[in-house]
């Protein structure tokens, strides 16, 4: 069991030190204007963890995802991990993901002791999808 725990800690530390999908979704001309369909901020005010997640969606699937953030190892590694898990997934499948998914990835001990940190990335992705749908509905109904 000690080896499994060490492997888990190495996995988490690797995602923190070498985050996957970090950065921004660039526009077609590589300028600062993002080509993302939605960018969503998320955070835990009590501990200072913040992330901004940007999504590019096509035909109901996440075709690109990037994030920027700062905070503890758990929040930043967890966000990096979740970007890998949701890339290529249907929006409905992502919305159906629950916090238990992070428990399976990060382990029960860590997730239960730091639930807001562990689920920050997933919660922010789900908020982004919800906001994207609201924006699309407003646009379809000519509401500003």
Concatenating the DSSP letter of every residue in 103-138 gives: HHHH-HHHHHHSHHHHHHHHHHHHHHHHHHHHHHHH
Please answer whether residues 83 and 21 qualify as being in contact, where contact means their C-beta atoms are separated by less than 8 angstroms. yes
Tell me: the pLDDT tens digits for 112-134?
A: 999 999 999 999 999 999 999 99
Q: How many CB atoms lie under 10 A from the CB of residue 83?
A: 24
Domain ranges (residues) in the chain:
2-139
Tell me: the pLDDT tens digits for 39-73?
A: 999 998 788 999 999 999 999 999 999 999 999 99
CATH class of the 2-139 domain in this structure: alpha beta
37 versus 28: the higher-pLDDT residue is 37
What average pLDDT does the structure give for the chain?
A: 92
Tell me: the pLDDT tens digits for 64-114?
A: 999 999 999 999 999 999 999 999 999 999 999 999 999 999 999 999 999
């Amino acid at each position: 069991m000690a080896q499994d725990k060490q492997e888990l800690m190495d996995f988490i530390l690797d995602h923190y030190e070498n985050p996957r999908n970090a950065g921004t979704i660039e526009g077609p001309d590589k300028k600062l204007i993002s080509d993302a369909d939605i960018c969503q901020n998320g955070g835990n005010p009590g501990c200072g963890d913040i992330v901004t997640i940007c999504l590019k969606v096509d035909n109901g699937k996440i075709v690109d995802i990037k994030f920027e953030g700062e905070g503890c190892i758990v929040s930043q590694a967890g966000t990096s991990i979740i970007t890998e898990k949701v890339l290529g997934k249907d929006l409905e499948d992502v919305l159906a993901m629950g916090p238990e998914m992070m428990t399976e990835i990060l382990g029960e001990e860590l997730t239960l002791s730091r639930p807001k940190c562990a689920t920050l990335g997933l919660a922010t992705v789900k908020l982004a999808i919800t906001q994207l749908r609201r924006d699309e509905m407003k646009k379809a109904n000519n509401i500003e």
